[in-house]
Amino acid sequence: MLAEELRYRVSGIGCQVVQGDALELDWHELFARYQISDTRRRPKIIGNIPYYITSPLIDKALTPPLPERVVFLVQEEVADRLAASPGGKTYGALSVNVQAVCRVEKVFTVAPGAFRPPPKVRSALIRLRPLAEPLVKYEEIETLRAFVTACFSKRRKQLKNAVPMVTERQLRELGFDPTIRPERLPPIAFVRLLRAAQ
């Protein structure tokens, strides 16, 4: 089995091989278990991940306490969504939720021919570096994810009809044009809207 072979190969260099379901394992507990005495060190999460569970793995990787960085090989379309700017076709809930806590870098792309068998899609390496000062508090991250997803579920609607629990009057008081669409707002705007809705 691959895990056993890997254990054998790294046995003399201080690495630990943990076999399990990435969605089920408690990554923070694992890091605490194997961490050396320097408590200032933060984990780095790096992986060539199954594309069909990219979003839940990113959510899990960005669950506080945040790692030093996250490096994943993902489908190029997902990388473009993660790094998208407001107003573009690829900008959406995933963009906002990740950019509220991280700086996103699309490092390079990987052609299908780099794999055997070759997939039908291009891949890209992304690097997520947590912001020194995230736009949201740690305890707000899960709430923001749900709020932004709700806003983008009505993507083509105007802001006054897309934002849960915020009135048109409140939008104007906050300095927002109630007629624009959510896809034109930067991440910090969603944080302001979330707090107004609470």
Asked if residue 72 is part of any domain, the answer here is no
Confidence grade of residue 40 (pLDDT, cut at 50, 70, 90) = low
Look at residue 109 in the predicted model and tell me its pLDDT. 97
CATH number of the domain at 176, please.
Answer: 1.10.8.100
Q: Name the residue range of residue 17's domain.
A: 1-41
Asked if residue 115 is part of any domain, the answer here is no
pTM score, two decimals? 0.87
d(CA 136, CA 144): 8
Asked if residue 110 is part of any domain, the answer here is no
Asked if residue 161 is part of any domain, the answer here is yes
Asked if residue 99 is part of any domain, the answer here is no
Q: Using an 8 Å Cβ cutoff, are 131 and 83 in contact?
A: no
Look at residue 38 in the predicted model and tell me its pLDDT. 56
Look at residue 75 in the predicted model and tell me its pLDDT. 96
Dump pLDDT digits (tens) for 104-120. 999 999 999 998 899 89
Buried b (16+ CB within 10 A) or exposed e, 91-114: bbbbbbbbbbbbebbbeeeeeeee
Q: Is the pLDDT of residue 195 over 70?
A: yes
Report the domain count for the chain. 2
Asked if residue 73 is part of any domain, the answer here is no
Q: Is the pLDDT of residue 37 over 70?
A: no
Dump pLDDT digits (tens) for 61-71. 998 888 899 99
Confidence grade of residue 35 (pLDDT, cut at 50, 70, 90) = low
Asked if residue 111 is part of any domain, the answer here is no
Residue whose C-alpha is closest to residue 182's, from 141, 166, 76: 166
Q: Which residue has the higher pLDDT, 10 or 40?
A: 10
SS3 state at 73: strand
d(CA 44, CA 31): 10
Asked if residue 36 is part of any domain, the answer here is yes
